[in-house]
Amino acid sequence: MQVLVLNSGSSSLKFQLFSMPDETILCSGLIDRIGFNDANFKFKTQKETIDFETQILSHKAALKLVSQYLLDNDSGVIQAPEDISIVGHRVVHGGSYFSDTTEITKAVKEKIRFLSSLAPLHNPPNLEGIEVAEDIFPNAKQVAVFDTAFHQSIPEYAYKYAIPNEFLTEHNIRLYGFHGTSHKYVSEKAILFLGKKESKIITIHLGNGCSMTAVKNGKSIDHSLGFSPLGGLIMGTRSGDIDPSIIFHLKDKLKFNLKDINALLNKKSGMLGLTGYSDLRDIEAMASKGNTDCLLALQMNAYRIKKYIGSYAVALNGLDAIVFTGGIGENSKYMRQLICEDLEFLGINLDTKRNNSDLRTIRAINKEDSKAKILVVPTNEELEIAKQSVNLFKN
């Protein structure tokens, strides 16, 4: 059985084609910097690797390019659309409607569209991916795996907001949590690596979108993103945590309308608002040249993450490991160093030589005497989505 997995991020599209259930990767790829003139397309099969820059301004255009290389090149990945049995889609926000992997129907798509206001950078491209895939692979079963599902184990005292009760009971306003597929995958890998039946882990997913989860014995008990993917850490274009009264000040004193405020906080803030760049690679490059805005933004980013490490260590009542994952977490030595500085009191001691290693496998980068492990665990949301998609049809 061949399963295609599409993972549409806010500015990227990752894809993998699996032979299941043996989990063999037939091809994989990434399009990042979607919306930029210099978007990068990578397509890897068992026979060849294709890598080039192009202008890709939308997720729809990105998906069409992927399908072109799946079907039209000479690599022989698939001969016809009918070769693919299942297309698994990452969908960010399932709200209170979806807590499990779900086969996509017209009603499911309408719910995903309805929830787009809560995840405006994600649910629309997720839905676009579904609709394009339905056209290209009409005979395949389309499956949604929701980012929010892993966080259903968060206790009520952690997911409930301190607003009148009816906003939860009647309107389902609560903390939902996101990046759940990634946090689930890397926490399970970390638990196996630690070899502990009981564990207290903080998973740190850093990319254009960023989030952290307190994971106790394999279960999510708290998470940095809440009702939508806007709060928490500083992200590529999203503000993360701010004082809610700022919104009223923007509206009443600076005469912003609500649509403009939404765009400001989701698309014009975060690292972009602080530096003029949303891609951390650009920001680190400018910081190395002495750009003070970029230097400060990196320090702010690391400081926010440290605050969450401290609070989650308390929530867990201890700490066995912190786990770095995601494009930034796996690849930015500098950010990992900034984050781990001055955390010795929590038993976190970074080994500089190990941190500077270019290995791309799960590894510990802490000193031998560090009480808490510092792990780098490459995420594979696509494999997790493929497994959940196949399992949906086993019964």
Residues acting as catalytic residues: 147
91: closest CA among 129, 60, 54, 53?
A: 129
265 within 8 A of 231, measured Cβ to Cβ: no
Q: Let me know: does 297 contact 275? Beta carbons within 8 Å.
A: yes
Q: Compute the C-alpha angle 66/1/193, nearest 5°.
A: 85
Cα separation, 173 vs 337, in Å, equals 36
Query: Which stretches does DSSP call E strand in 183-262?
Result: 200-206, 210-216, 219-223
Sign of torsion over alpha carbons 178, 182, 186, 189: positive
For residue 269, the tally of other CB atoms under 10 A from its CB is: 21
Q: What is the largest CA-CA distance in the chain?
A: 60
CA atoms within 13 A on the CB side of 189: 24
Centre a 10 Å sphere on the Cβ of residue 99 and count the other Cβ atoms it contains: 14
**CA 114 to centroid of chain Cα atoms:** 21
- E-state strands within 257-376: 321-325, 363-364, 373-376
Buried b (16+ CB within 10 A) or exposed e, 207-236: bbbbbbbbbbeebbbbbbbbbbbbbbbbbb
